[in-house]
Structure 1
Amino acid sequence: MKRILVVDDDPLFRTAISHWLTESGYTALEAADAASALQCFTDQRPHAVLLDLILGEDDALPLLRTMRDLRPHVPILVVSAKDHAQYATQAFKSGAWEYIIKPVASLEILAQTIHSCLEQSRLQERMRATQARLHTLVHNLPIILFSFTKSLDFTFLTPKTEHVLGYSVAELQNYPLKFLHLIHKEDRKTFLSNIAHIFDGTHFESKMDFRFTHKQGYPLVLQVHFIASRHASEPQRVEGILLDITHHTYLDRMFLSNERQMALHTLAQELAHEVRNPLVALGGLARILEERYPADAECALLRQECHRLDTIWERLEPLLDPPPAAMETISIASAVTFLFRILSHHLERMGIRWEIREEAAPVVQASVELTHRALLSVIQYAQDTLASGGHILVRILGDGQSAGVDLVLSDAPLAHVGHQHLEVCRRLMARQNGRMEVHASAPTLTVRLRLPCVHPGLVSADTFP
């Protein structure tokens, strides 16, 4: 039910209008002076106001302007005995929606005016809400609009660059080649080739995905759409958009890799139980039979076949571990920041909160992808075991010999310490000369990941350009 505030120092008029409003289906609020009117306007938040221009000996225009400033979308209808055009003009300039002269000639017209103003206010409110949603949507989209010349000087960049790439507009405009150097070297040639085709007129537009290094050191996957901006017969600049698709590509690839690793782990357990264990038993039985019946060729054949199948298993077992990966110097803090950034929506939907605490942690020698996948495995374990409202405390630590992260899961079921996700994490860490430890102490479970530090003088892939 709509609330309408009647502000008038005439008690008879105020009471009569309030009674009529109540009969018309509204909730009537009353005030006789500016102070009580402003208090009611603030506390009761009426949907419309009927205001007399003179309250006692005071002019109500200051009250009108205050109400307009506080809640500009609320219709204020001035109801006054002053019928001179000058007063109406002052009222409209101060924020009045309508000017009605006392005595009110027709309550039916007043009812139509109130209804019209309320409907107009509702439509304006819906329009403002829609605009706010659209502004929020556009503001939060990981999209960068750009324009640059043939010499790769940016002539336009949206401020979203700092949110997506970590670099401000000024940093990229002042050092245009910085952007090019931050593109992964395997993708840089294709990126330049696409630009060249735009400028020489071969293509009017082009699209590609490429890898890019964020200012904090972690990798991004960006999609760029180039469009030629033609002037006369030749394009003078290239315009387009950059879209951060890391969440959909890199994250999906890590999920898929970990799922494959878990499937292989499950397969290995089943093969060990259903094949290798009986195979070992058969091999032992074959040796016993061969000792008892040394002249029996079938016993020797049985033992040889068991040995052959066991050799096949030994060749298969290394395939269950993650494939070898290139080792490089990485920041464990950047790895953690990156992963929680792209997983934030997943965790929020699960109702899981997280907090990152960083101490001085040296860089480590590891694989970026395997480190990300190891961290992802622990977070997947947390998603599987923590209830909504759970909490992950992430502590980034280093002791000079190794550096890593402790992920402290609050209220995690301690019976799940042998979970498949944790087994995948253990294998991923071992593949990098690292280690994983699980410490269970109710009501928390701590997963500790450690990697060897990079010591001064160690030559790595990043030492030389």
Structure 2
Amino acid sequence: MSDTNAKILVVEDDEDVRRSLCAWLAMTGYAVIEAADGLHALEAIEAERPDTVLLDLRLPGLDGFGVLSALARQADAPPVIVISGQDGIEGVIRAFRLGAADYLQKPIVSFDLLDHALRAVLERCQLSRAVKLAENRYFNLVQNLPLLVFVLDEQLELAFINKFCRSLLGFTRPQAQAMPGFFLSRIHPEDRDRLQACLRRGLSPQERTRTEECRFLHKNGATIHALLRAIPVSRNGPTGPTGTIEGIVVDITDRVELERFVVQEEKLKTLGAISAEVAHEIRNPLFSIAGFAHRLQARLPDNREAEIILSEARRLEDILDKISNFLHPVDLRPRLCSLRGIVTAALDFLTPEFTARSVTPHTDLAPGLPDLRLDPDLLTQVVTSLVRFAASRVHTGGGISLVSSRHSRYAHLDVDFLPGRSVIDPELLFLPFEEGDERMGLSLAYRIVKNMGGSLTFVQRGSEAAFTLQLPIDPLAALPDGFDDPDDAGPDDADPDLPPAGPGVGRL
């Protein structure tokens, strides 16, 4: 008896031959379906989904060649063993060209030969399904990894990229693969030459795997800090071995910003501790000086020096109060809020100031950001302070860019501008040393963001300056867009450019 539960369709117009074949198949252990002509055969294949078809070529109506032609247009057609009494070699060749898996001559003198042919076809079919299943699993795994997987050909053009492309760079897979030079164009201009030289060296199979830290550009202009791991692979092409590069890109923007924040925080802690100690040491003699100045002014009301001493004492007392307040936590009232809505509210509030100086704000706010569970009033105050400071620094008629993006479990807001004059001592930017509106409440903004569990950093490179506001996303929020992208290939879609299993995806 057969050890398989395979279902066999017998297509034969001769009733005696058909019954003989069906009886032997049933006795051997197969499930059997019958059809007397080509049209009924196709209907049975559609309805029953047999594992193998035994097909006669000479059939009434639609003949066996017509059945083979119809099955050739189906992606998941069952394998066909032709059993025919045709003597001409032309019929045999034509049957194989149309996709026949095997060919047996009628009459069948030995059922052992048929049994061997069936077992061979079913085994090949089973192996083919296993390979396809493994390919689909690998394809789905690669597509849904929370990192960018890519393959570059000899011209450094994309041969493959996974669905995380949309989350990381803002482009769908079809968009990325349709753009010539896409991969190199998304590398930050300051890193492009270095990375291009590294990738070209990697086309040699003798080159070792390399990991480079670099920056990419999101579709909305945001800078993405990343680790790129390039793996040289040799493939056999039509003209001989060709070099390709398989690799991954890991988004480390959150880590870079947090490291920058930690460095900035340590500096501020040191300065804050010194400031608190100095404030404590100054406060007592300050009271004495102010007291003497009051007595002197009471005795000599017209004395100018006494008024100056009192004015400076009040100013110093105000600075000491700011330092004291800076070291205390902020009272937060968190609730769900939209970063897009907060940015819009802050820009609306600052419209009169923009108009007065002809400053133009430009926004590119990611539509898929989930709501944040933070204090919306204080967060609006933070964004207002950052934008107001940027507006105060740009030339009249200048512009400010506000770009939001998502990286893992953080939402980012970058406020980029070209200052008319550079910021002196940017390490002191978030400390409450300055009086008046020069720093536009940045020390309070820093305190608020820190108490929200986020980070606020300032970077000045050449003529450019930028604040980066990093805010935590609710852990229960949805995963980033792009994991289930309707514009991308589905889990069952075949991809001829899919990199093979093995060295394709390395580990950092």
> Shorter-chain-normalised TM-score: which range?
0.3 to 0.5
* TM-score scaled by length of structure 1: 0.47
* TM-score scaled by length of structure 2: 0.44
Bigger relative contact order (CA 8 A; separation at least 6): 2
